């Protein structure tokens, strides 16, 4: 299959699914050769398809070696004095095949595959990747196709990221949640927003408001770095979301709140020492407001059976209201995790 056809096939994926694809999703099912095949079979296979760069060698469906086009033609077919094919014509593939340079499982992410590529020796850096599924040969992926896929994914994520924080936006968040629901994973969703953000914007100006949003986005990004299977997104405005393992959500939210409060002197200037500021409320009348704080509402699959994104949003609305209520009463940041079972 020509490279153009690979790209064409890859582009058939809907935009949203590119975030979920694994290395196996972009693999081309190149027909392998059995290790007992004659060398002439390999030679004719390469001659028939000028774009074929690597042939996997299998035994009972498992990968045992490979034939890379240029090295095979140079060393086996041509040989040192040009008599390679004549001298080797009776040999089987198992006698001249190379060790595999890069075999990966179907489920490996594009990013993981790319990182592993960096450990290859320079002479085999551009060999096709061999993909297995359930330990059996599945297909191959040329390096340029992997790079194309990574580029498309990066461009899509950049397009859909919030310009202030760089965090993924709404449909990426929805896709991440739907993926975890589909996989029946246990997870918590922490909804984080800034209390009284509108009067803060009105009083201090939108430039200061944007600074608060950027700082909170950075704090959230930094707070999840040491946790596996954790995702952060920016819903919009002052609303953020963190998806994590259930046991990590409280710790992460506490870290976010603690680090956010370190910036209060910067956010409020001289008002910080007074512990309040005066701004107009939603009715347009002046009101005394406490310093900025956060509401963290945590919805958990351990407390609720979540079957859809819409259902989660409905459950979260009630939890967010309770987190807001606690914060309003105490005039401080609040973290509320609903532990009631359905």
Task: Give the chain's mean pLDDT.
Answer: 88
What confidence category does residue 171 fall into, taking pLDDT thresholds of 50, 70 and 90? confident
The per-residue pLDDT for 76 is 74
Task: Dump pLDDT digits (tens) for 261-285.
Answer: 999 999 999 999 999 999 988 888 9
* CATH fold label, 3-151: CBS-domain (3.10.580)
State residue 269's pLDDT score.
95
7-51: pLDDT as tens digits:
444 443 444 455 668 899 999 999 999 999 998 898 889 999 999
Q: Answer yes or no: is pLDDT of 341 > 70.
A: no
**For position 237, what pLDDT does the model report?**
93
Question: For position 12, what pLDDT does the model report?
Answer: 38
The pLDDT assigned to 18 comes to 59
According to CATH, the superfamily of the domain at 164-337 is Reverse transcriptase/Diguanylate cyclase domain (3.30.70.270)
pLDDT at 97: 93
At 5, the pLDDT band (50, 70, 90 cuts) reads very low
Q: Decide which of 63 and 303 is more confident.
A: 63
Domain boundaries, the chain: 3-151, 164-337
pLDDT score for 289: 95
CATH fold match for the domains 3-151 and 164-337: no
Q: What is the pLDDT of residue 153?
A: 80
**What is the SS3 assignment for the chain?**
CCHHHHHHHHCCCCHHHHHCCEHHHHCECCCCEECCCEHHHHHHHHHHCCCCCEEEEEECCEEEEEEEHHHHHHHHHHCCCCCHHHHHCCCEHHHHCECCCCEEECCCEHHHHHHHHCCCCHHHCCCCEEEEECCEEEEEECHHHHHHHHHHHHHHHHHHECCCCCCECHHHHHHHHHHHHHCCCCCEEEEEEECCHHHHHHHHCHHHHHHHHHHHHHHHHHHCCCCCCCEEEEEECCEEEEEECHHHHHHHHHHHHHHHHCCHHHHHCCHHHHCEEEEECCCCCEEEEECCCEEEEEEECCCCCCCCHHHHHHHHHHHHHHHHHHHHHHCCCEEEECCCCC
Per-residue pLDDT, 79:
59
Q: Tell me the pLDDT tens digit for each residue of 107-161.
A: 998 988 988 888 788 878 889 999 999 999 999 999 999 998 888 888 777 777 8
What pLDDT shows up at residue 86? Answer: 62
């Amino acid at each position: 299959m020509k490279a153009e056809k690979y790209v064409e096939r890859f582009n058939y994926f809907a935009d949203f699914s590119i975030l979920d694809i694994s290395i196996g999703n972009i693999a081309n099912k190149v027909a392998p050769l059995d290790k007992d095949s004659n060398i002439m079979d390999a030679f004719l296979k390469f001659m028939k398809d000028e774009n074929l760069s690597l042939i996997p060698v299998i035994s009972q469906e498992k990968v045992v070696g490979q034939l890379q086009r240029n090295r095979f033609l140079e060393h086996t077919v041509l040989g040192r004095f040009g008599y390679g094919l004549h001298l080797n014509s009776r040999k089987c593939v198992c006698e001249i095949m190379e060790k595999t340079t890069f075999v990966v499982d179907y489920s490996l992410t594009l990013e993981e595959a790319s990182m592993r590529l960096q450990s290859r020796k320079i002479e085999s850096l551009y060999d096709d990747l061999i993909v297995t599924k359930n330990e059996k040969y599945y297909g191959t992926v040329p390096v340029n196709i992997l790079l194309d896929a990574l580029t498309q994914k990066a461009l899509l994520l950049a397009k859909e990221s919030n310009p202030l924080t760089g965090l993924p936006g709404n449909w990426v968040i929805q896709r991440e949640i739907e993926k975890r629901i589909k996989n029946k994973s246990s997870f918590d969703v922490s909804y984080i927003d800034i209390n009284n953000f509108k009067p803060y914007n009105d009083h201090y100006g939108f430039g200061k408001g944007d600074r608060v949003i950027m700082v909170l986005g950075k704090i959230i990004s930094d707070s999840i770095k040491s946790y596996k299977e954790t995702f952060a997104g920016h819903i919009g405005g002052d609303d953020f979301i963190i998806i994590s393992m259930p046991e990590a959500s409280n710790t992460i939210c506490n870290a976010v709140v603690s680090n956010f409060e370190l910036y209060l002197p910067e956010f409020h200037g001289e008002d910080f020492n007074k512990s309040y500021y005066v701004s107009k409320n939603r009715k347009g009348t002046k009101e005394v407001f406490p310093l900025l704080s956060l509401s963290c509402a945590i919805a958990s699959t351990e407390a609720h059976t979540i079957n859809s994104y819409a259902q989660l949003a409905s459950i979260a609305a009630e939890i967010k209201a309770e987190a807001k209520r606690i914060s309003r009463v105490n005039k401080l940041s609040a973290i509320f995790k609903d532990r009631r079972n359905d």
